[in-house]
Amino acid sequence: GAGVSQSPSNKVTEKGKDVELRCDPISGHTALYWYRQSLGQGLEFLIYFQGNSAPDKSGLPSDRFSAERTGGSVSTLTIQRTQQEDSAVYLCASSLQNMAGGLAKNIQYFGAGTRLSVL
Amino acid sequence: AQKITQTQPGMFVQEKEAVTLDCTYDTSDPSYGLFWYKQPSSGEMIFLIYQGSYDQQNATEGRYSLNFQKARKSANLVISASQLGDSAMYFCAMREGNTGFQKLVFGTGTRLLVSP
């Protein structure tokens, strides 16, 4: 089946503009995660959704960042008034509840990411 | 405190040889999962192997195996019979707790280069 799909694959924007990044998870996956990968900070968690609600948004770096998920499927990460430090690869992952050995295994499967460059 | 430590920024191996990528972790939660991902130059994170904290045996997936030493809090990835296509960044990650929906915490990665 289809994997996690992210669009656009590349986005170049000017400082101060708003951007929207889209993630289409694997069909049937109930959980969706956003991460950011940058040279200085490595891979950082941003937010996760269980269905349409976001129980953990602790990784969002500022109130310029927001995300929503509709219909338990597609998610959009919005960055308002972009800054140069927002330049990074934004990765989306999805997972399904799956128990193994008494633990929730819940492998997270990732998309190819959106490379955001803020000029 | 660093939760996941990968001390090898880069590793070199010859084709067909085995290589071990190191990972140590820190947690006080008895329930956790350990994951290895491969990130080729294309950028996609590819899941390789999983080890649960209660698993009695080391995980294996084809040419990948995980050397899980719980008392030492290490979860090293062993790649047997390396191939040129194994050249990539490799990330160790941990998820604490048992609901299954917590975030992954990643190490800084190890870049593996496989030479002919």
Angle ∠(A57,A105,B105) on CA atoms, nearest 5: 45
CA torsion sign for A47, B27, A38, B75 is: negative
Interatomic CA distance for residues A42 and B41, integer angstroms: 15
How far apart, in Å, are the Cα atoms of A114 and each of A27, A45, A56?
A: 20, 15, 22
- Chain B residues touching residue A103 (CB < 8 angstroms): 31, 33, 52-54, 98, 100
Query: Pick from A45, A91, A103: which is nearest to B31 by CB?
Result: A103
Interatomic CA distance for residues A74 and B21, integer angstroms: 35
- Residue at token pair 């995660």: A33
Of B32, B40, B37, nearest to B48 (Cα)? B37
Query: Pick from B31, B43, B104: which is nearest to A108 by CB?
Result: B104
Distance (Å) from the alpha carbon of A101 to chain B's nearest alpha carbon: 6
Q: Reduce the DSSP state of residue A40 to 3 states and report it.
A: coil
Q: Chunked in runs of 10, what are the mean pLDDT values of chain B (116 residues)?
A: 88 97 95 95 93 93 97 97 97 86 91 97
What is the per-residue pLDDT for B102?
A: 81
Check if A119 contacts B (Cβ < 8 Å): no
Spans of chain A below 70 pLDDT: 1
What is the per-residue pLDDT for A41?
A: 76
What is the per-residue pLDDT for B1?
A: 58
What is the per-residue pLDDT for A21?
A: 98
Check if B98 contacts A (Cβ < 8 Å): yes
